[in-house]
Amino acid sequence: MLKKFIPNQYVPSIYEIDIQELKRLGIKGVITDLDNTLVEWHRKEATEELLQWLEELSEEGFEVVIVSNNNEKRVHAFASPHNITFIHSAKKPFSKAFKAACKLMGLKHGETVVIGDQLLTDILGGNRAGFHTILVVPVAETDGILTKFNRSIERRVFQAMRRRGLIEWEKK
């Protein structure tokens, strides 16, 4: 059961993802979480650094879809000014929104990566749906109320994975 929580990759931030390596793996699309993956959960607008990263993905031929459990108002306000396709109220870790994002991009599962900061939503959902998954460290040290609950469970999952030797890295 714990294997469904193990990401294919772990990096400190989205900016440390090797885009050329993704291309070598045949990845053409990125499904990414929003809150605490791209920006802090309470930040309303994209940072200049994030916009540059998204531009680099675009220049390299990647499609991008934000898949968020947050509400439409939050995700629309963030994504629309930058013409980023999004799915709100995704109900992660259920796979329906991940599959819908893949369909929106016109890509196959093997051509798509899921990036997120939470084991219980992003990584579990991406793994269950058959995607390559990348876990990043949350960009903020604080969380919304529901995420705080998830993080307490996540800590126990990390401990169990470490005890069983299933992870080679430490979550910061």
> Which pTM does this prediction carry?
0.87
Residue 54, token pair as written in the block? 């998204």
Dihedral pair phi/psi, residue 124, rounded to 5°: -60, -45
Whether the pLDDT of residue 170 is over 60: the answer is no
The residues, ordered by sequence, that sit 6+ positions from 113 with a Cβ below 8 Å of its Cβ are 22, 27, 29, 30, 31, 131, 132, 133, 134
Residue 172's pLDDT band (cuts 50, 70, 90): very low
**Tens digits of per-residue pLDDT, 103-140?**
999 999 999 999 999 998 999 999 999 999 999 998 87
- Give the C-alpha separation, 34 to 74, whole Å: 10
Q: Which class in CATH covers the domain with range 2-163?
A: alpha beta
Chain-centre distance for alpha carbon 32: 4
The mean predicted confidence, pLDDT, of the chain is 90
